[in-house]
Chain A
């Protein structure tokens, strides 16, 4: 549902896409108002993790005004200027660090000072991208836009599984005055598969069993498969037991697809077999590869954001089928920045398409847009 514009304040309804809206509001400098946040739910109002996100945004900005309604079901957010710099934040364990990290990643290049954030909390969560995925699949996308890697870094200091977390990551991001326009229409073929299996406060054999099964699937497609095991001990293993895997497929055009799977939370009754986990992850990686496109499907929105925030030049990228999240993001981009993408399905090469038309891998989408000429207004020039 499109936003209502009340004297230059965008008014939204509902708690969904809360993060998107705050992020875009911060970047665009436009004030927003969100109403009816879980107004019909039992525990109405903002959740803890959302309030936590506002806190994080307050830390990286200067001059932000946040007004919460009395019941917590409405929020007025007037963004300030992005400051960045040294930030330490303990994230809410209801969501993974990825929830917050994606925001910082999107804001990072536009801060006044290079961002150096220490985030503590749950590193691997079912709802959010894990820190491994951000590290392997999202950072290369940003690298395409800033071209020179001076200090773009994500370090996983220690891992933490839900529900208690205890993980920590350090994220560093350089600042840029503006992003380059990007033309990225080929993604090449998968040339190697890497992965990492972590086992926190569980038997080390678990990890090896995951590796075996995942490798078993992947070797049917490619001989170059190498999966690391990360056996964490003591404080490095966080506060809760758990294990999981993330697999990365790298193509010869520097596209990274990443899939991940993790065990169920301890004490929930269900038991995850390591073999199943490895196979599940491998399958979802294959699914991701089948979807194709220049970026991993979870980061389409980041690509769209950075394309839109480029200079007033044309950017072209081909991605796999758009996820719902990306579609909403594109709508939000239109509302906040007035930028509209030209989206078209890419025609496939002659015969292949005939027998594969029912497959999801066949509809790639070409996204074309003219950047809005966004410049980092917070950076200082001397």
Chain B
């Protein structure tokens, strides 16, 4: 009725906008200018004054906007998100436990005695928190940084920031920065107000440079009775509960679980026999990140890669208050869940019921908590009641798509028997429709099982327990026997059955079954049991035999298929005779698949036109009949419609849209119009942001689709298709865990279980770019063991550093360069590109070592490439010497050792020291390894010949996960892997011998001997006589005389005598001469002396004479003067 009113409305009054009347009205009530903005009041003042300035303004605005834009990501947070992990991190004795206690108290008003492991609490209707304390171990810090959503970074203000805090911030940066809030404690230790202010300020600014400017830093000013001030804690809690989070790339592609509960379910007898036997361990936790697939491998940080043996979900032990209706009055809202701390309540598991107790003596204390526990315990102990209750609530589904039926519904109805029959009928109908499908249905019996699948009452129903099924059938039969059902229920039931049937047709379980029938339950024997169940249900020998033949047939078919030729066509090998599409009957079916055929009602242009016309139906009436002049077609108002219906009775659906249809159409159009034109946001000029907006819209659409598409699928199927979505509380069973995990278990260490995506469980060569941390004191050496935290894993490996040359060759580096990135290659787990990692040289928490190191993070980087082989090369110079030299050809030896080696290097470039280039030609056969080479010029025998090549360096295949969780409690933080060579040498006091070539020796230089000067003959000819070499030319051979061999002269006795006499005479003569010479010298000396004396005397005489003359002259002069 209301709809019709919309269209039958009378024409509304339209006020005049111009003219005399309008002006009058305007004068009557003038515009109220008081609350107008300045811009509205005086628009001229805000007009563009300068085009340049306007342009600049516009440009700046666009820059700012563009800077803010990020590539839109599909929002993957589920409708019911998992609790937010709040990690409390800080150095020891800074107040972490106190803070956690206070926070819990402020949120849920209960005291927790111990804080071990993660504590999950409900804080609001939409939010839960998992609080976890990080102990002072770099392993834990890394694991916590990988999973925390929010980090409370505690710092002792009286001391300042410690190295652990900077290390933790660095770890966070590498693995995806969670939200970080700093908390300063111990502020009451600073007594002076001014110093307090200064400390706060300096710490704040230091924190800002590390995180981001403006990061939140809380001050907890003091402790009263062992607790922080209530107001401050409340403030902090408020901040936590409104915190928003950004998706991090690693966590939005990987599922992960922070285990908050652990059970060892190994047979006690086996443990007794061998305490070291591998254990079966169950871990529990909320799925986070992305959906967890059933088959996926996981990595348990600190233990290693594991395969999940069983995965199922449990009811939430700490549910959001809105999510589930209260079933019992007894069941109080559980607001806290912390099994490691002894606050767990009751947990129903597949094979046990766990009740958390605080030791055996805790019952004596009668406080609220124990009361509550008692009540819960009572709840379990009084079994009769609870089973009844549980029966009440256990609904079952006849069809997996259908509605859930509860026993109290059954109580109201009468002839379930008949309904049953009806249901059978309907199923038979379906079977007659589709024989093949029912065949398979009989075979596997999975469908039945699906149908009987219970509603999510018991946690392990997704594992499809047989027991459940049996219980259900029993229940069913019981209800069958009852007679007092009302008529009303019968109707209801039949309606339900048909609905369910229709729904099943719609969802078509059969296709799913056809494809996945063989898998749905991995367990084979279970399937068989189901088969037998199926049979007993039927209780019919015929069907039984049919079943057997069917299974045989199936097996036979399978066998036939085993070795067929592979073919991807629809009709793979046997080509059936196709339908004759050209025949009129068949053509009719197909004709609408072409653009020339009829379109569906909402697409066809003529239909749409008709809709429009019909909606303004009244208007059309006015026009009545008319003739289209262009086509010559006559339009007759009413008759035409009748005509068309008469002509084509089969085409009735196209004929006349009903009024409601038209209305719908119109409303839809109107909504579309409104959305387009009335939305003020759409009006602004989009410009270049249109693309960005469209991306954003696309991401939004995708996230909506992700959330909505499986919404009404039943939970078992949904998990099969989608995986265990984040927010579910799951139970994971691991077989063959090392026994040390249990025996050395310490709940203060986080158990992080990270799922591995496709191919990430494999190991290969990872090449990444890496930079030594500028705070790390040493440089890193190639092939020194390094502990790397990459992805979920922590492992030790032997890296090789390299540098990429201009020709994209990886050149081996012995040490990491300082202040620049280099490449690193190691053998390790395959991890997607761009994943960040950090490297440590040790994870040992020995205080001495830490003090010596200062900052423990040795390097950071990210993955570049994965491969199954590496190409790292090192420079290699091969050296040879000439054997024989022809003009430009030379034979070279000593470069290679065999002909084969030479053959490999044929054509290689070589070079002498003096720079003459050449090429290796061919091996010689005589000295092994020698070869012929040609050069661009003649080389000398003294030349050394180089061949510059590259030598491939292999990366050592060493990969050892850090298994710190398996270590005994005391030394959990002292994992020791492979030691560096230097470390070993230092420990064992081994000193390596120095290379003698590298030692310094005294330099001794002999006198330089020059070669005699040889003057060419030509030149000699032109020389003047005195420059010509004389001696040599005199001898015939050209050699100096002295060097000629002389003939030995042998004298006879006479001659000897003569020569003796001659010798004596000569000696005498020589002696005489000598004496004479001495005497002469003596004489000469005396004579010289005599001459000198004479001279002296002469000079003396002359001097006196001169004196006399001068005196005389002066006397004369004086006389003359006196006269004057």
Q: Could you list which residues of chain A lie within 8 angstroms of chain B, going by C-beta atoms? A: 1-2, 8, 13-20, 27-29, 36-38, 40-41, 62-63, 80-81, 99, 102, 112, 127-129, 177, 181, 183, 189-191, 217, 220-223, 252, 283-284, 286-292, 297-299, 301, 311-314, 316, 321-325, 327, 330-331, 334-335, 337-345, 347, 349-352, 356, 359, 361, 365, 368-370, 372-375, 377-382
Contacts and interface: CB of A to CB of B under 8 A. Distances in A.
A165 to B, nearest CB: 18
A351 B515 contact: no
Interface string B293-325: 111100000000001000000000000000000
A132 to B, nearest CB: 15
Given A283-B578, A289-B593, A338 B295 contact: yes
Interface string B595-633: 111011000000000000000000000000000000000
Given A16-B563, A331-B519, A375-B832, 7 more contacts: A128-B567, A288-B570, A312-B291, A322-B515, A373-B253, A373-B758, A374-B758
Contacts of B505: 345
Contacts of B74: 311, 313
Chain B contact residues, majority secondary structure? loop
B599 A316 contact: no
A379 B1028 CA distance: 81
Contacts of A350: 653
A13 B867 contact: no
A382 B562 contact: no
B759 interface: yes
A377 B830 contact: yes
Interface in B530-588: 558, 561-570, 572, 578-582, 587
Contact of A334 (B519, B566, B570, B713): B519
Closest 10 CB pairs of A and B: A63-B868, A14-B562, A29-B759, A338-B295, A345-B508, A286-B581, A297-B570, A380-B865, A381-B833, A343-B511
A286 B590 contact: yes
A223 B762 CA distance: 56
Contact of B589 (A112, A359, A382): A359
A372 B507 contact: no
27 contacts: A20-B566, A29-B759, A112-B867, A189-B595, A191-B594, A221-B591, A284-B578, A287-B581, A289-B590, A290-B579, A298-B569, A301-B568, A312-B252, A327-B514, A340-B720, A341-B515, A342-B710, A344-B507, A344-B508, A344-B511, A345-B511, A351-B653, A365-B511, A374-B758, A375-B757, A381-B863, A382-B864
Contacts of B652: 351
B940 interface: no
A252 B512 CA distance: 30
A340 B582 contact: no
Given A2-B519, A290-B589, A377-B832, A337 B758 contact: yes
A331 B721 contact: no
Nearest to A291: B570
A36 B713 CA distance: 40
Nearest to A378: B866
A359 B585 CA distance: 12
B709 interface: yes
B764 A63 contact: yes
Given A2-B519, A217-B582, A381 B865 contact: yes
Interface in B630-659: 652-653
A20 B567 CA distance: 10
A63 to B, nearest CB: 3
Contacts of B567: 127-128, 325
B1024 to A, nearest CB: 77
B822 to A, nearest CB: 14
A14 B506 contact: no
A381 B512 CA distance: 40
A38 B566 CA distance: 13
Contacts of B762: 29
A222 B595 contact: yes
Nearest to B569: A298
Contact of B594 (A99, A190, A297, A331): A190
Nearest to A377: B866
Contacts of A325: 566-569, 572
Given A16-B562, A18-B566, A351-B653, A190 B506 contact: no
Interface in B995-1054: none
B100 to A, nearest CB: 33
Nearest to B717: A342
Contacts of A191: 594-595
A343 B520 CA distance: 14
Contacts of B710: 314, 342, 368
Contacts of B764: 63, 81
A73 to B, nearest CB: 10
Contact of B709 (A20, A63, A220, A314): A314
A338 B868 contact: no
Contacts of B582: 217, 220
A342 to B, nearest CB: 5
Given A16-B562, A222-B596, A373 B589 contact: no
B702 interface: yes
Contact of B600 (A102, A349, A372, A375): A349
A2 B518 CA distance: 7
A350 B602 CA distance: 13
A282 B720 CA distance: 41
B581 A373 contact: no
B704 to A, nearest CB: 10
B565 A343 contact: no
A356 B832 CA distance: 50
Interface string B494-513: 00000000000111100110
B137 interface: no
B262 interface: no
B253 A343 contact: no
A309 B458 CA distance: 34
B245 interface: no
A253 to B, nearest CB: 11
B212 to A, nearest CB: 26
A127 B565 contact: yes
B721 A368 contact: yes
Contact of B590 (A29, A221, A322): A221
A340 B713 CA distance: 14
A342 B652 CA distance: 35
B516 interface: yes
A171 B352 CA distance: 60
A290 B581 contact: yes
Nearest to A2: B518
B76 interface: yes
Interface in B823-859: 830, 832-834
Contacts of B293: 338-339, 372
B593 A292 contact: yes
A342 B563 contact: no
A330 B517 CA distance: 12
A327 B114 CA distance: 55
A345 B512 CA distance: 10
B466 interface: no
B563 A38 contact: yes
Nearest to A38: B563
Contacts of A301: 568
A221 B596 contact: yes
Contacts of A380: 833, 864-865
A297 B568 CA distance: 9
Nearest to B512: A343
Contacts of A128: 567-568
B74 to A, nearest CB: 6
Given A316-B709, A323-B570, A349-B600, A16 B868 contact: no
B290 A62 contact: no
A282 to B, nearest CB: 8
A220 B14 CA distance: 58
A222 B757 CA distance: 49
Nearest to A80: B868
Interface in B396-420: none
